[in-house]
A and B are shown apart, each in its own frame.
Chain A
């Protein structure tokens, strides 16, 4: 290889490297999947949305729906208010799951497998919310083999009650929680305690379990709402026996985050 060719190959490699770095940096900003459609935007809605600090008549409207709204009600036929009136502003409600693909790995008989994810809720200064969870059926393969939900070591846990699950001879699928706003039972029982998810396919129908909730309005009414994030960790655990048929076991857990009213 003569000098000219060497320089050319060097330049080519540098250009390749630079373009790769530039691509990586740009991909960190967004994964542009070309799925835009012809959406339209309305900059302001055609209804009155109460927001911001108000000492005017629009705030008084919040106090007495029937009386002060009467004039507007008779003319338009409706009165609409958005957000929590005692906050005097509209704070968006946010919910995050750090990892939605919870990989329990290759299941080995009598060796429990665990995986965790983090749930986060942000609600400005008004902390009143709940997160519920329900599984869309037990862990099962496409051919219908099932890993049942756990009953814990003493056959004493269910969709609401929490109990110790530490024996390798107890099989099933369950979860435990740690962090903020979790059910008190997980705090009092300790880190070896689990319970089972309610099952949407079960008969009789099982109600979703509350996995995070806060009743406290943490805002100081005299100040602006603060940005508060409440987070907890949910750990999924499964343990199978040696007679458990081989296969890819999976389920979907639906986490529903709703603010209060």
Chain B
């Protein structure tokens, strides 16, 4: 009996050690980082400096990290960015942390957070304009294993910093609606688009910012029907970077994740009959000009009419055949 107990206890002990060793192997693989805030907008005068506190949390395994700042530009009109490989621009960044510096490796334990005290300094006599940067926290890849083919992953997480430098406090607002139209449908001439009544109708709205500073639109897209009925959709107030273009989105919206309608600003759904007018208007601050655009489309129940026609033909054919018999 005692022998049995001894064996059980010993096997329990061994399995516990094995479990521990296994868990050590698998746990040392995961990276999970989060950063807050994900976006910082700074409107600042030359010669001024501020300090901003970021929170970097490691929810994965213990890891070594490195912080750096790199400039970015708009990659496309969808809000994606392209991070440049070298630092440029007049904005100066440093850390106020006692034991942390940019481009210097530090260690972060599991479930531990690091407060990053980022100081942003604008030198004197800097020309007004916008400068865009990403604060990047990158992991140091693990050491490789001998004798196998392996790929090691390096995880980098970023938070964007949009800096507008203005001595006077004024911003350069030069927006222009580049595209405002419906997608798909049957086109007749340049401006007439025809849809089936039950079609989902995607709408595209892109705005070009020709100014030196980023702008943030606020406005609506309106849909007006035959009998004056109007539906309004609020435009989501996203930043449009200086000298770039961006597709704007309106809400509430339909199925934007669908490949057919993507990317679009709005998807109209319902049962449409007749002529519909679409209009948009937006402004970029109290004293900024309001810009407008309009478009229209026609919708007819082609599918229902086709079904009725087909059913009529079949019924007429059957009646005629019975009469002949």
Contact = CB atoms under 8 A, between A and B. Distances in A.
Given A10-B5, A66-B171, A261-B241, A84 B151 contact: no
B151 A104 contact: yes
A242 interface: no
Interface in A67-122: 67-70, 73-74, 76-86, 90-107, 113, 115, 117, 120, 122
Contact of A45 (B5, B51, B136): B51
Contacts of B48: 76-78
Interface in B1-58: 2, 5-6, 9-10, 12-13, 16-17, 19-20, 23-24, 27-45, 47-48, 50-53, 55, 57
Interface stretch (B178-186, B248-256, B292-300): B248-256
B173 to A, nearest CB: 8
Contacts of B29: 98-101
B39 A261 contact: yes
A81 B41 contact: yes
B80 A80 contact: no
A7 B54 CA distance: 58
B151 A251 contact: yes
A248 B149 contact: yes
Contacts of A210: 80
Nearest to B97: A39
Contacts of A69: 43, 169
Contact of A252 (B27, B33, B141, B286): B141
B251 A217 contact: yes
> Is chain B's binding surface mostly helix, strand, loop or mixed?
mixed
B287 A66 contact: yes
B171 to A, nearest CB: 5
Contacts of A150: none
B20 A258 contact: no
A38 B98 contact: yes
A93 to B, nearest CB: 4
A82 B132 CA distance: 14
Contacts of B23: 24, 27-28
B177 interface: no
A14 B37 CA distance: 50
Interface residues of A, number: 109
B62 interface: yes
Contact of B286 (A39, A68, A115): A68
Given A94-B34, A101-B150, A250-B152, A130 B16 contact: no
B60 A259 contact: no
A255 B155 contact: yes
Q: Which secondary structure characterizes the binding site on chain A? A: mixed
Given A96-B32, A101-B29, A253 B152 contact: yes
B111 interface: yes
B300 to A, nearest CB: 31
B207 to A, nearest CB: 14
Contact count band on B: 35 or more
A80 B40 contact: yes
A23 to B, nearest CB: 7
Interface stretch (B158-166, B270-278, B305-313): B158-166
B324 interface: no
Nearest to B9: A13
Contacts of B17: 20
B38 A93 contact: yes
A78 B166 CA distance: 9
B151 A32 contact: no
Nearest to A236: B151
A254 interface: yes
A49 B52 CA distance: 8
B39 A83 contact: yes
A225 to B, nearest CB: 12
Contacts of A207: 82
A122 B157 CA distance: 12
B5 to A, nearest CB: 7
Contacts of B173: 66
B226 interface: no
Interface of B: 2, 5-6, 9-10, 12-13, 16-17, 19-20, 23-24, 27-45, 47-48, 50-53, 55, 57, 59-62, 72, 75, 78-83, 85, 97-100, 107, 109-111, 114-115, 117, 132, 134, 136, 138-139, 141-142, 144-160, 162, 164, 169-171, 173, 216, 218, 234, 236-239, 241, 247, 249, 251-252, 256-257, 259, 262-263, 285-287
Given A47-B50, A217-B236, 8 more contacts: A78-B48, A86-B238, A92-B34, A96-B60, A120-B32, A215-B79, A216-B257, A236-B151
6 contacts: A24-B19, A31-B110, A64-B286, A90-B36, A97-B31, A217-B251
